[in-house]
């Protein structure tokens, strides 16, 4: 097939990571083509709850205060609730009531806004363009006009947990077993206060958990994670809608949660992702690199996805610009920088998953976090990427968490 296009940078995927790379490189004067398979935004399984550090990153790539206010709803804390009735609030410094609040993001506004900013910066955005094949730095793309081949100076895989760029280059691996994620939104009751700040909830149950994150527009994002054969069989036999109904019906009422979960109205279709835990053996190769979820994603319990997406985009922007200027080691440096930045956080995430897999151990840790302020505050700061994750791996912290 004849190569019909040559571009400096081709970004596969138009989520936050891909859009942020396009914004950064186009702002440096680079020729950037972004390929997004969806012709228009639609709901898909993705993260919405994130810490204050992500809000700061969004402002750095060009969102103004008014735009952030439109897409982000303050969430003072994430309240974790166990089957035995233990409750604790994870905040991100202080009590979470002002500058340290996390947020729930409206991805239906945020994602198109980021693509718009990329276009304004000078990137070419092609929506409805599906990458059907990858060969080195060449991509085979199908759209409404047919099929074409594009050669990139640098190819960026920003195409999520099923990244074709990662898969073709043989670096994708599954981790954490066969976990399934189901996501959608529900409406908050009409007639009450609109978009007020209130806690998100993470409710743990046998074999999984459900996260409830308020977002703008009087809605709550629901993210359900299910693991183990029992839930896999139930999903296969009963279907996602029946399983979702059963999980929602079991959510305990809370004074600060206005939703009646036994009859909550879904605003959009249930979107699923499986398996939701994956890693990559490396994040770069000859003329290509991976960013965002394509570069590895463990689990939504720790809420690390959006921060990692934007941080990887910032590091990738610097590396790609250097590589196009002739620095042959730049992409490898990006890979090392990502490892150095997130290796400890990945270890913490795996430890959390290990606790979740052992209910008695998780319950012990939950009681410790509910009773020990300093331990709880450290864990919140680590989960929010506000302090180095090594703090949660320090033997003194582990001893304080696990002691009777």
| pLDDT value for 177 | 63
> Tell me, what's the pLDDT at 298?
67
**Confidence at residue 183, expressed as pLDDT on a 0 to 100 scale:** 92
Torsion angle (degrees, nearest 10) of CA 92, 93, 94, 100: -60
Q: Which fold has domain 74-79+92-102+178-273?
A: D-Amino Acid Oxidase; Chain A, domain 2 (3.30.9)
What pLDDT is stored for residue 174 in this prediction?
A: 72
Which H or E run contains 72?
Answer: strand 72-75
Instruction: Quote the pLDDT of residue 147.
Output: 87
Write out the residue limits of the CATH 3.30.9 domain(s) in the chain: 74-79+92-102+178-273
Residues of the chain with CATH 3.50.50.60: 5-63+107-175+276-346
The count of C-alpha atoms lying within 13 angstroms of the C-alpha of 331, restricted to the half-sphere facing its C-beta, is: 20
How far apart, in whole angstroms, are the C-alpha atoms of residue 272 and residue 396? 39
Q: Which residues of the chain have pLDDT under 70?
A: 1-3, 94-100, 175-178, 298-300, 302-304
- According to the model, what pLDDT value does residue 2 have? 56
User: Which CATH number is associated with domain 5-63+107-175+276-346?
Assistant: 3.50.50.60
Q: Return the pLDDT at 1.
A: 47
At 204 the pLDDT is 95
What pLDDT does residue 98 have?
Answer: 47
Give the pLDDT of residue 101. Answer: 80
Beta carbons within 8 Å of 54's beta carbon, 6+ residues apart: 103, 306, 307, 310
């Amino acid at each position: 097939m004849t190569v019909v296009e040559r571009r400096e940078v081709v970004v596969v995927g138009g989520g936050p990571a891909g859009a942020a790379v396009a914004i950064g490189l186009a702002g440096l004067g680079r020729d950037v083509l972004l390929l997004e398979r969806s012709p228009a935004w639609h709901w898909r399984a993705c993260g919405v709850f994130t810490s204050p550090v992500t809000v700061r990153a969004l402002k750095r790539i060009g969102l103004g205060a008014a735009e952030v206010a439109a897409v982000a709803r303050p969430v003072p804390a994430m309240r974790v609730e166990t089957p035995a009735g233990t409750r604790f609030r994870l905040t991100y410094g202080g009590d979470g009531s002002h500058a340290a609040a996390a947020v729930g993001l409206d991805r239906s506004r945020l994602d198109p806004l980021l693509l718009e900013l990329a276009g304004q910066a000078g990137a070419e955005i092609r929506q409805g363009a599906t990458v059907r094949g990858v060969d080195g730095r060449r991509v085979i793309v199908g759209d409404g006009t047919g099929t074409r081949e594009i050669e990139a100076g640098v190819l960026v895989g920003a195409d999520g947990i099923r990244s074709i760029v990662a898969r073709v280059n043989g670096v994708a691996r599954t981790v954490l077993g066969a976990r399934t994620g189901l996501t959608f939104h529900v409406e908050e009751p009409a007639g009450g206060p609109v978009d007020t700040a209130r806690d998100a909830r993470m409710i743990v149950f046998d074999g999984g958990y459900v996260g409830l994150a308020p977002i703008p527009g009087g809605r709550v994002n629901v993210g359900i994670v299910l693991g183990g054969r029992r839930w896999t069989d139930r999903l296969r036999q009963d279907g996602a809608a029946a399983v979702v109904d059963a999980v929602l019906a079991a959510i305990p009422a809370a004074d600060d949660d206005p939703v009646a979960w036994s009859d909550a109205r879904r605003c959009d279709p249930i979107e699923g992702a499986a398996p939701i835990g994956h890693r990559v053996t490396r994040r770069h190769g000859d003329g290509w690199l991976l960013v965002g979820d394509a570069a590895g994603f463990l689990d939504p319990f720790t809420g690390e996805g959006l921060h990692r997406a934007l941080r990887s985009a910032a590091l990738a922007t610097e590396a790609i610009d250097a590589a196009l200027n002739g620095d042959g080691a730049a992409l490898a440096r990006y890979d090392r920088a990502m490892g150095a930045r997130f290796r400890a956080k990945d270890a913490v995430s795996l430890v959390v998953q290990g606790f979740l897999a052992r209910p008695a151990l998780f319950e012990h840790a939950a009681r410790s976090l509910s009773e020990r302020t300093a331990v709880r505050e450290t864990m919140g700061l680590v989960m929010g990427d506000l302090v180095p994750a090594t703090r949660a791996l320090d033997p003194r912290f582990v001893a304080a968490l696990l002691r009777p």
